[in-house]
Structure 1
């Protein structure tokens, strides 16, 4: 084995093989199946595409999807930017604390967060009860099953994603540039708008593209919080596939959504490297030659400069009392923002101890009856154990395949290295509803549909890109001279990997594994299409109960999962801090 590993091309095949086979076999080929099915094979019938455009209902759903995606994107960016900016200015210990409060909602299942908003926005929900008691309204407002509910719910889902995407880019900007501008006579708002903000635009643009392409393919929140007029294209695809059995129109709708996603990514590639959307630390903008982005910015600057000066003056007058070095207003905004992120989860936790048989907030009394019910609910226990088994299996395989792929992508010398990296992230670029439907068709053809193997492969496909992003970033900061030094002293390739490389990469491996596990544990659509007659996963159990009955037992199960998420995040943070302290101690010696 060690002799084989000394040959670069053999090592490359061994390391890259599993990733390439996974992507080709369970993404590219399944997508080609639905493309072929959308035109009815050799008939080359494009009538299904024409019906999407000509049919008023289908066209309205497509346009509504794009509108909701755009609204959610803009709201998430505007609301998240001040928080991301503050994170770049605070001390590491404070940063860790604030980050935990953002990570907890980020890694909490979409279904749990959506369930919380059902409680808050319902006819007998917290908002309506408060308004009625205060005498502001005489009867409950129709908040649930509206576009407003969809936007609020999706914004709550995507804001943490926007913050971390912008922060990972903004943290590399030196605040001394803006300070230098103020020393030279610029007003604080001028220094920010003309110096810092333009430098942060690539990160903002990356976050916007990421949110938009995920939002237009989102399924859970629109399905639970929206009404019939708020149907999005992901719901249309699922309905056509599972209820109407119109597979050709479902395939055509999937391809249309995929083309919209590709067009969005193509336009984004004119302004930023696409890999920056998912991994800003890997993209290097400084080596990118000036192109469309620089020309567009110069043109915009010339045209909008008079308007910008007027806006700067107005904002300066309005915000002068707020622009202090201690950033009190930023802290006040961030605290309100963190309340918005965590309050729905707090509501769910409180309801898990309710003495009522119904979802009533505040609870009429304290009781552990629902915890006892959960402990005795064999169906919930079976779903939890199956989801844990599925998540651990998927996370293990995804971590192995993704880590091997990251080694190959970072250390390969092929000229198409950037294209290969983008290809490895392609499962993140394709909307999950398309991945789910294409795998459904493909696995039915190869007779693994409904099996545990088929389900695991679908979850691994979605988890691997997160592992690659984490491990590629870690490997780029890895000192390869340590491996060479071990080899010089007689260590074989496998010994170098086991005794030197992997121990140093341990925090990244743990983080990647946790991301892969949570991705699998939270996945709904792929499970709906690939599960078959197996035990329902926990998200599917949630999905069924939320659609047909809402009771405090759901809150109890949600609280249990939130507690597991908190423990996982704190454990990873502890491992990271311990590893950093050990490295700093070793360096000081």
Structure 2
């Protein structure tokens, strides 16, 4: 009996539900896809040969790599100085800037893509303004080209590049840079020799994450690009929708997956901490500066008087240059924030237009497109389907993900790392591959075209987000409070309900809301497993964007844009209430 109780209380038991869903919906189908790609049980590479033998396929593969790499480089060049200035700002301003970066990140990719269709289209905002001003007589080709694809992809992925770098930069000890300057290093030299190497973990994480996710982009290139801007994900999606050559589908999916895994295994599985970099950087600079001091010592003694005269001038010039640098830097940050928020603001404002077409600024205000949304059974029916599915995903993933987070925090580090990587797999590989695997997995279970199938497909990604959010909350949880409650004869469940749960409730609520938003705005995986029998709001919106530009879509996009704002308000209220409640809980536990 005692042995059975030990097994039941084992932390790994808490992770099993999450792993069971992951393996049944994604893990086993992925293995099945691999076996199909190598023609098991014959085991040959015929499908891969057929794919690579066609010039159009190899060109599509290299074009996918090119588009992903260029978008990643642009995100890095724009994101690094933005992250640097955000991390260097005062805490109140830094908090505001981080929130402004997070809000677009939480907005549906489809809504953000649609905003660029509205802005860049032939009858869009830019062409309309230029034609009204008489600058051009015919619309400029701003959409359905490679530039439009980059604009849309960078807009979606830039927050994902900025946030990891900000997280790492906030942990850098700036006194190391000051030490380098005190030993004679110029500000630019101290930055490149000290600060930049210490920020490399954030650069690596953001770059890898952005590149791998860009590999699986499907909606944005299809909506903003032309025929010559297609990516491999478009080819895979067309194969699934127009035919059923499982060998070709599995081979092309695994080629894309192999590229992602190759990049991750080469650059992502050998992290280098800042603790190892800092001593090397400081030691290198100590050696160089000490040597230079010996060489320059004599000349410094002679030139003391001259240097004293130049000191005030140099100091004034440095402050002046720093002032202009700060102005240029914050101007750049303002432009980045404007770039992230303006497209969504445009769609929200245009959704209140009273004209027959979308206008910015609108000539008058009206709720006609919202009335059109709520009066059309196709629209509000799709919205109800999305709400039902998102609620089910939120409940299931929050329960399973919270249990998994508790279990992962109590098992051995090596096993915890392996299981965490497995749970986070659905959000760290191209989404098109996840969609194909879920399609075959749910087909085996007979759940294609059902709400249950969509819920399970969304849940594997939502669990990943819940585990991340709840685990981050548990890191800051003081376990001594639970021990104090148990020392006062409280049972484990009572201690959890009265002490642990109230303190981590904001994290759980935040994870549940994050899971809801993830499911509510998901379109790629839903398009694979939903079939034609279940229509969610993003699917309805995507079909409308491809076939006709109905202004009702602007109302839908504005609703998807405002959803993260409501999420942030709810989460802030929860954290604010938890701030006062935690003190009362701590006092009760001690008493």
TM-score, normalization by structure 2: 0.88
C-alpha contact 1:84 1:166 (8 A) present in aligned 2: yes
Deviation, 1:216, is: 0.5
C-alpha contact 2:393 2:458 (8 A) present in aligned 1: yes
Q: Which residue of 2 aligns with 1:228?
A: 227
Confirm or deny that 1:174 pairs with 2:181: no
Deviation, 1:106, is: 1.0
Q: Which residue of 1 aligns with 2:421?
A: 422
Deviations 1:230-283 (A, max 9, x none): 11011110101111333221110001011101101111135427xxxxxxxxxx
Q: Which residue of 1 aligns with 2:485?
A: 486
Q: Distance in 1 between matches of 2:438 and 2:380?
A: 28
Deviations 1:429-470 (A, max 9, x none): 232111111121222122122222221111100111111111
**1:94–1:289 CA distance, 2 compared to 1 (3 A):** closer
Q: Distance in 2 between matches of 1:164 and 1:42?
A: 45
Q: Which residue of 2 aligns with 1:407?
A: 406
Confirm or deny that 1:329 pairs with 2:322: no
Q: Distance in 2 between matches of 1:183 and 1:554?
A: 58
Q: Distance in 2 between matches of 1:533 and 1:257?
A: 27
Q: Which residue of 2 aligns with 1:391?
A: 390
Give the secondary structure class of the aligned counterpart of 1:523. Answer: coil
Which moved further from structure 2: 120-129 or 234-243?
A: 120-129
Q: Which residue of 2 aligns with 1:446?
A: 445
Q: Which residue of 1 aligns with 2:46?
A: 47
**1:203–1:588 CA distance, 2 compared to 1 (3 A):** farther
Q: Distance in 1 between matches of 2:5 and 2:476?
A: 23
C-alpha contact 1:382 1:535 (8 A) present in aligned 2: no
C-alpha contact 1:5 1:493 (8 A) present in aligned 2: no
Q: Which residue of 1 aligns with 2:306?
A: none
Confirm or deny that 1:375 pairs with 2:374: yes
Q: Distance in 1 between matches of 2:579 and 2:206?
A: 28
Confirm or deny that 1:347 pairs with 2:346: yes
**1:145–1:583 CA distance, 2 compared to 1 (3 A):** same
**Larger Rg, first or second structure (1 or 2):** 2
**1:523–1:270 CA distance, 2 compared to 1 (3 A):** closer
In the comparison of the two structures, how many residue pairs are matched? 558
Residues 545-556 of structure 1 mapped to structure 2, 5 A cutoff: 545-556=544-555
Q: Which residue of 2 aligns with 1:499?
A: 498
C-alpha contact 2:122 2:139 (8 A) present in aligned 1: yes
Q: Distance in 2 between matches of 1:168 and 1:409?
A: 22
Q: Distance in 1 between matches of 2:339 and 2:318?
A: 24
Residues 142-157 of structure 1 mapped to structure 2, 5 A cutoff: 142-157=141-156
Confirm or deny that 1:211 pairs with 2:210: yes
C-alpha contact 1:409 1:417 (8 A) present in aligned 2: yes
Deviation, 1:516, is: 1.0
TM-score, normalization by structure 1: 0.88
Which moved further from structure 2: 84-93 or 462-471?
A: 84-93
Deviations 1:176-213 (A, max 9, x none): 22233223332222222222111111101110000000
Q: Which residue of 2 aligns with 1:469?
A: 468
Give the secondary structure class of the aligned counterpart of 1:113. Answer: helix
Q: Distance in 2 between matches of 1:378 and 1:415?
A: 52
Residues 11-30 of structure 1 mapped to structure 2, 5 A cutoff: 11-30=10-29
**1:135–1:190 CA distance, 2 compared to 1 (3 A):** farther
Deviation, 1:18, is: 0.2
Deviation, 1:4, is: 8.6
Structure 1: gaps (5+ residues): 274-283, 303-317
Residues 237-248 of structure 1 mapped to structure 2, 5 A cutoff: 237-248=236-247
Q: Distance in 1 between matches of 2:583 and 2:498?
A: 20
C-alpha contact 2:198 2:278 (8 A) present in aligned 1: no
Q: Distance in 2 between matches of 1:401 and 1:145?
A: 42
C-alpha contact 2:451 2:534 (8 A) present in aligned 1: no
C-alpha contact 1:359 1:551 (8 A) present in aligned 2: no
Q: Which residue of 1 aligns with 2:294?
A: none
Which moved further from structure 2: 421-430 or 260-269?
A: 421-430
Deviations 1:338-358 (A, max 9, x none): 111111011101211112222
